[in-house]
């Protein structure tokens, strides 16, 4: 390895160390440092686009700049390490209330819809509620429609359209309309925990107070 290559590598490491030091030291950047080894790390890139550039600035959880959250953040309950719209191309329609449990992961291009047009007057939206349990996984291009409840450990396959509830959870769904293609053994399902727990940008220990002040869910 040449001297210049070694020097470049050292400079890169030093800059990285400086970045982590800054993130650890400045309170508003703590989520970047604390979540770095989680399933949904709050990266400097996401933080910059959201907090500085203003994409989904009104939302209390990290959202990719290509995803959309419409309606009100007041209507969305995000569990620990659960960030609808974290992946690219998602559409979160929060005209009705949306509840998503802890450690549920949401892939790219997922739609979660909590209100639909009135059949007789498409100027009107009829809000409903969507409940998604903990430790779930919503696959790429899946759609969750108004009024749906999914229990814990529900896996929604890529491209599925979920039109009805599967409140018992512990299952894999696929198809349009979605149906159960496999059931999971609850004894094998792991309820893991991260060392640092955040509900979006909010420390979990502070989230109940945040929820009382700012949310309607």
Q: Among all residues, which ones are annotated catalytic?
A: 117
**CA-based angle 17:18:21, to the nearest 5?**
85
C-alpha to C-alpha distance for 74 and 87, rounded to whole angstroms: 21
Burial of 191 (0-12, 13-18, 19+ CB in 10 A): exposed
C-alpha to C-alpha distance for 163 and 145, rounded to whole angstroms: 6
C-alpha to C-alpha distance for 149 and 169, rounded to whole angstroms: 9
C-alpha to C-alpha distance for 207 and 46, rounded to whole angstroms: 21
> Phi and psi for 153 in degrees, rounded to 5?
55, 40
Which spans in the chain are helix H?
3-25, 30-34, 44-47, 204-214
> Phi and psi for 18 in degrees, rounded to 5?
-65, -40
Q: Phi-psi bin for 86: left (phi > 0), alpha (psi -120 to 50), beta? A: alpha
Q: Which of 117, 171, 177 is nearest to 142 (CA)?
A: 177
């Amino acid at each position: 390895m040449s001297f210049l290559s070694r020097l470049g590598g050292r400079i890169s490491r030093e800059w990285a160390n400086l970045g982590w030091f800054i993130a650890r030291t400045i309170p508003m950047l703590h989520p970047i440092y604390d979540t770095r080894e989680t399933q949904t790390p709050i990266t400097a890139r996401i933080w910059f686009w959201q907090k500085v550039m203003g994409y989904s600035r009104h939302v209390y959880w990290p959202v990719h700049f290509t995803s959309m959250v419409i309606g009100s953040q007041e209507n969305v309950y995000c569990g620990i390490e659960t960030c609808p719209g974290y992946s690219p191309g998602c559409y979160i329609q929060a005209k009705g209330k949306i509840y998503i449990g802890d450690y549920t992961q949401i892939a790219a291009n997922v739609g979660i819809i909590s209100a639909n047009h009135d059949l007789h007057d498409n100027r009107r939206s009829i809000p409903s509620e969507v409940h998604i349990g903990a430790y779930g996984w919503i696959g790429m291009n899946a759609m969750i429609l108004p009024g749906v409840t999914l229990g814990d450990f529900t896996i929604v396959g890529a491209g599925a359209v979920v039109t009805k509830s599967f409140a018992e959870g512990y299952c894999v769904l696929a198809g349009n309309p979605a149906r159960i293609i496999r059931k999971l053994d609850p004894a094998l399902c792991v309820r893991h925990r991260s060392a640092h727990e955040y509900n979006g940008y909010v420390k979990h220990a502070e989230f109940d107070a945040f929820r009382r002040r700012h949310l309607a869910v």
